[in-house]
Amino acid sequence: MRQPVAIVVVAVVAVLVAGVAGVRAYDASRDDVIAKGVTVAGVDVGGLRPAEARARLERELAEPARRPIRVRAAGRTFRLSAERARVHVDVEGMVQEALRRSREGSIVTRTVRHLTGGRLDADVELAIVWSQRAVDRLVRRVARATNRPAKDATLSFSARGISKVPHQDGLAVQTKELAADINAELADPSADRIVRAKTKVTKPKVTTDQLAQRYPDVIVVDRANFKLRHYEHLKLVKTYTIAVGKVGLETPAGLYRIQNKAVDPAWHVPNSDWAGDLAGKVIPGGRPDNPLKARWMGIYDGAGIHGTDAIHSLGTAASHGCIRMSIPDVKELYDRVEVGTPIYIA
Say whether 322 is catalytic.
yes
Q: Angle 97-130-42 (CA atoms, 0-180°, nearest 5)?
A: 40
Question: Pairing mode, if any, of strands 122-124 and 38-40?
Answer: parallel
> Could you give the CA distance from residue 221 to residue 212 in angstroms, rounded to a whole number?
19
Determine the pLDDT at residue 32: 87
Q: Contact, 155 vs 166, CB < 8 A?
A: no
Q: How far is CA 23 from CA 17, 28, 105, 193, 324, in A?
A: 10, 8, 14, 48, 116
pLDDT of residue 30: 59
Q: Identify the segments of the chain with pLDDT beneath 50.
A: 1, 5-18
Told to judge if 306 belongs to the known catalytic residues of this protein, a careful annotator would answer: yes
pLDDT tens, residue by residue, 142-158:
999 999 999 999 999 99
Q: What's the angle, vertex CA 204, arms to CA 199 and CA 206, rounded to 5?
A: 165
Nearest to 187 by CA among 122, 123, 135, 129: 129
Q: How far is it, in rounded angstroms, from Cα 22 to Cα 31?
A: 14
Which residues does 59 contact at the CB level (< 8 Å), separation at least 6?
A: none
By the 8 A CB rule, do 282 and 266 touch? yes
Indicate which residue of 88, 268, 306, 320 is catalytic: 306
pLDDT at 5: 46
pLDDT at 186: 98
Q: What residue spans of the chain are helical by DSSP H?
A: 2-29, 50-57, 63-65, 82-85, 91-102, 107-116, 132-146, 175-187, 211-214, 327-336
Q: By C-alpha distance, which of 60, 38, 59 is closest to 49?
A: 38
Q: What is the Cα–Cα distance from 152 to 203, expressed in whole angstroms? A: 9
pLDDT for the residue 22: 56
The per-type count for the chain, helices as H runs and strands as E runs, is 10, 25
pLDDT at 274: 76
Q: Which domains does the chain have, with CATH numbers?
A: 34-159+168-209 (no CATH), 215-345 (2.40.440.10)
